[in-house]
Amino acid sequence: MAEGTLSGVGLRGEGQHNGGMTQRPVLTRTRDEFARALAALHGRRALVMTMGALHAGHLELVKRAKEAGDHVVVTIFVNPTQFAPGEDFNAYPRTLEADMDALATVGADLVWAPAPEDAYPEPIDVSIDPGPIAKVLEGASRPTHFAGVALICTKVMGLVRPDVAFFGEKDAQQLAVLRHVFAQLDVPVKVEGVPIVRDEDGVALSSRNRYLSEEERIRARSLSAGLRAGAEAGAKGASADEAVAAVVEVLEDAGGIDIDYVALVDEGTFTVLAATAGVALGAEEERARVTGAAGGGRSARLLVAARVGTTRLIDNTALVLKERAGE
Ligand code: AMP
């Protein structure tokens, strides 16, 4: 196949022949290489940020980006600042060759796969605190996580200056945090959310699914099955608490699922409206505000985080809670 090229900059993709139908994107590593390749792009830039180990969920983001921009820029970087000590930073799968082949099939133009010292050329002493939205749920389980996500994403927005950036609803809280950070810091990018891509058995695609044994994989189906049950209950008029309970019931029936949280949040503000024990609900006045503002029904998101064996999985679904008399 043709090698990926960006005219005028002398950068070529590490092309491999695979039938002549597709070409690999240009691969850059250092900041200088990346800057030169970016300078050669004229037209609308669409950005997809990933940690690699790409699957059809990531590729869906790239396909959407391809429709939205003249050039699709993809970053592949396992970002150390969003992992806490003891998390799976070292073990996280790194599959650059396969990722480049996968990106060739969806027409990505330019990849930046920096080493940590390219992404963070000097010890960094600036941090971003995304505020209360980053303290609940994933932020409660992983207190430094969203600060690290906000930092790398803000840096990459500054380097790439994309017109539009695509993020998956799979990481719904990340999407909400980034919308909030970019709005408050006036980062001039349009953020687009992309619906979750699932396997045939309903399990949301995730780079971490490869850690599951065959038997754990079957149990992992209960996350999406539970969310479906919760969403159906909500559609039939269940309360926020009842929708959460419907999810928990499916997870408990499956057995062997260690629930971190099940929660129902307001879609826009991520205010926690109902949740399993131990999760801080949004302040009463905030809950009343988002509930009251919703009028005919509230756009909410039902979320689950659970360990299946040693693998921590997250999943979520959108639902509209019906207004109920007295609420
Ligand atoms: P990650 O490599 O896990 O950081 O993910 C990179 C981007 O892909 C994030 O915006 C994720 O939300 C998104 N993503 C990951 N899995 C899926 C999926 N199953 N469906 C849709 N988007 C996804």
Q: Express each pLDDT in 182-235 by its tens digit.
A: 999 999 999 999 999 999 999 999 999 999 999 999 999 999 999 999 999 999
- According to DSSP, residue 143 is labeled T
Task: Please compute the mean of the pLDDT values over residues 299-321 and round it to a whole number.
Answer: 95
> What pLDDT sits at residue 299?
87
> What pLDDT sits at residue 321?
79
Give the dihedral sign, CA 176/179/33/19: positive
Q: What type of residue is 112?
A: W
- For the cut 60, the answer to whether the pLDDT of residue 326 exceeds it is no
> How far apart are the CA of 172 and the centre of ligand 1, in A?
10
- Residue among 51, 60, 61 whose CB has most ligand 1 atoms within 8 A, to mutate: 61
- Residue among 88, 89, 171, 175 whose CB has most ligand 1 atoms within 8 A, to mutate: 171
Determine whether the shortest distance from the Cβ of 170 to ligand 1 is under 6 A. Answer: yes
Write down the catalytic residue from 17, 55, 58, 145. 58
> What pLDDT sits at residue 283?
84
- For the cut 90, the answer to whether the pLDDT of residue 44 exceeds it is yes
Tell me the C-alpha distance between 61 and 194, whole Å.
Answer: 7
Q: What is the mean pLDDT of the chain?
A: 91
> How far apart are the CA of 168 and the centre of ligand 1, in A?
5
Q: Which residues pair with 321 in a beta bridge?
A: 298
- For the cut 60, the answer to whether the pLDDT of residue 247 exceeds it is yes
Based on the number of CB atoms within 10 Å of its own CB, is 22 exposed (0-12), middle (13-18) or buried (19 or more)? middle
> What pLDDT sits at residue 14?
47
Tell me the C-alpha distance between 287 and 68, whole Å.
Answer: 36
Task: Please compute the mean of the pLDDT values over residues 111-116 and round it to a whole number.
Answer: 98
Give catalytic status of residue 71 as yes or no: no
Q: Which residue has the tokens 């491999």?
A: 16
* Residue nearest to ligand 1 atom 18, measured at CA: 57
Determine whether the shortest distance from the Cβ of 57 to ligand 1 is under 6 A. Answer: yes
Structure tokens at 262: 């099940």
Determine whether the shortest distance from the Cβ of 270 to ligand 1 is under 6 A. Answer: no
> How far apart are the CA of 327 and the centre of ligand 1, in A?
35
> What pLDDT sits at residue 314?
98
Contact 273, 303 (CB under 8 A): no
Torsion angle of alpha carbons 89, 92, 95, 100, nearest 10°?
-70
Task: Please compute the mean of the pLDDT values over residues 79-101 and round it to a whole number.
Answer: 95
Q: Which atom of ligand 1 is nearest to the CA of 171?
A: 12
φ/ψ of 136, rounded to 5, equals -95, 165
For the sheet containing 26-28, what is the strand order?
26-28, 110-112, 71-76, 45-50, 164-168, 190-194
